[in-house]
Amino acid sequence: MSCASKSKIQATQVSGVNLKWVGVPDNQFKENLELAFKRLNVFLEDEGLSQKPVQKLIDEVIHFESKKLFDSEIKRLTNGQMKTVPKTYVAVGDDGILRTISLDAYLKVHPEHSIKDFVNILVHEAAHIFHSKTYGNDGMGPVWFFEGFAIVAADQYVDEVTLSKSEMRSIAVAKERGNYKEYGFMVRELQKSHSLVGMLQKAKDSPNEFTRYLGL
């Protein structure tokens, strides 16, 4: 590959959202992205969270042909603080911008996964953008909650773990990042007694009372 084609950046639009290609464009990606938006919109509407399409909250989607190109962008964004990008870090939704590696690159990282898992990741990252744009970066609640919310929105890790009430309590007060499967379980379990819209609002309005509000 020549240097010229490596640095080639082209742009297009998908359901009104700007889509930028870093490296070779993948036309099938547009369909994956449209499906992800559609799924998230159905979820948000079902939960009474939004009447407007999530696309309105997304400023830009950037598609990286390879994990290598994605990693250099992440290093640039973190001002070199992240020296090595974890192997499984393949997409991020932050400040209205959704960045992702291509499906081909994703399947190299996760050979056992399918296109559905890839679309799930797009839904997950778009859900983070919905969350931060609607409730503010500082109003997203603890890590277990905002990750759990995105996991539930993206229909990931269903029925993979079970936790007791006291295990949930220790995860809710833990300082360090934990297991995403557990985060997903917790939000699903709490949905049995609390509405998602209520939890999102409480996490923003009264972060200090959040754990107590949830009965944890």
Interatomic CA distance for residues 194 and 65, integer angstroms: 41
Q: 42 CB contacts (<8 Å, ≥6 apart)?
A: none
Q: Toward Zn ion, which CB reaches closer, 23 or 100? A: 100
For the chain, give the longest Cα–Cα distance: 58
Q: How far is the CB of 81 from Zn ion (least distance, A)?
A: 19
Interatomic CA distance for residues 115 and 97, integer angstroms: 22
> String of b and e for 183-205 (b: at least 16 CB within 10 Å)?
bbbbbebbeeeeebeebbebbbe
Interatomic CA distance for residues 81 and 51, integer angstroms: 38
Q: How far is the CB of 12 from Zn ion (least distance, A)?
A: 26
User: 66: closest CA among 28, 106, 33?
Assistant: 106
Q: Toward Zn ion, which CB reaches closer, 21 or 106? A: 106
Hey, what amino acid is at 184?
G
Q: Toward Zn ion, which CB reaches closer, 95 or 209? A: 95
Q: How far is the CB of 92 from Zn ion (least distance, A)?
A: 8
Q: Toward Zn ion, which CB reaches closer, 6 or 188? A: 188
Q: How far is the CB of 100 from Zn ion (least distance, A)?
A: 12
HEC string of 61-108 equals EEEECCHHHHHHHHHHHCCCCCCCCCCCCCEEEECCEEEEECHHHHHH
Q: Toward Zn ion, which CB reaches closer, 21 or 124? A: 124
Residue nearest to Zn ion according to CB distances in the complex: 150
Q: How far is the CB of 121 from Zn ion (least distance, A)?
A: 9
Q: How far is the CB of 128 from Zn ion (least distance, A)?
A: 6
Q: Toward Zn ion, which CB reaches closer, 17 or 150? A: 150
Binding site for Zn ion (CB under 5 A): 147, 150
